[in-house]
Amino acid sequence: MAMMQRESLEDRFCRYCEDLVLDDETQIRLRALVRSDRAEIAHGFERLSSSSRYMRFLTPKQFLSDEDLSFLTELDGFNHFGLVAVRLDQDGTEMDGIGIARFLRLPGEPDVAEPAVTVIDEMQGKGIGSLLLSRLAKAAVEKGVCRFRSYLLSENYRGQEMIRKLFPRVHFEIRSEVVVADFPLCGDEPFPAIRFSKPG
């Protein structure tokens, strides 16, 4: 029975797809990350500034290796799950990827996962990161994750503020140049109403 429930949750989120319109009229789609997104993720990394790459990986990173791309795209949908945000044209056809969010369940702590969210520079500041994180948290809860533990550079004030707004019970711990954000997903309402509208 537990296996059937797990499979149904995985199937559900593999089919997840949500189209939204940003305040500037940009049409976007959120959907589950799949292996065929590999090339687009590599392209998206190239569109990140060196600062954005440093904030995301906590170290200077010039490129994504084949091993990196396999890790980012070959997910099991349960312990390692991801979402992508893609831009749509006027006909609703997917164009370029603009954001990605993933969580990875921590070994030995089955109810805790580490999230990661990245949005290309030209689309930052539009609320896409918050949208991805809130949807990722919802997926995580339905997969049995009750807590996220995120590692951010101490100067990543934007990321810290995004987490604080979505998850008021967050606890921040400073560890040298890294801030650990530990926040419950169960009990709070971490999925506030998003201002974006549905198309049509």
Residue 15 burial (C-beta neighbours within 10 Å; 0-12, 13-18, 19+): exposed
Tokens of 112: 């805790």
CA dist list (Å): 198 to 25, 67, 89, 181: 11, 37, 15, 31
Which pLDDT score is estimated for 160? 95
pLDDT at 194: 43
Q: How high is the pLDDT of residue 11? A: 54
pTM of the model: 0.86
pLDDT for 3: 42
**pLDDT band at 7, cuts 50/70/90?**
very low
Query: Domains of the chain (ranges plus CATH)?
Result: 2-184 (3.40.630.30)
Instruction: State residue 186's pLDDT score.
Output: 80
Q: What is the tens place of the pLDDT at every residue in 130-159?
A: 999 999 999 999 999 999 999 999 999 999
Q: Retrieve residue 18's tokens.
A: 């949500």
Mean pLDDT of 57-61: 88
What is the phi/psi pair of residue 146, to 5°? -110, -10
Q: Give the pLDDT mean for 8-22.
A: 71
Share of the chain above pLDDT 70, in %: 86
| Residue 122 CB neighbours (<10 A) | 10
Over residues 8-20, mean pLDDT: 68
Which residue has 């949005």 as its token pair? 119
Under 8 Å between Cβ of 32 and 15? yes
Q: ∠138-144-148 over CA atoms, to 5°?
A: 65
Q: Report, as an integer, the average pLDDT of 27-32.
A: 95
Task: Give the pLDDT band of residue 14 (cuts 50, 70, 90).
Answer: low
Across 9-13, 141-145, 180-184, least confident range = 9-13
Find where tokens 């990827």 sit.
Answer: 97
- Would you state the pLDDT for residue 16? 83
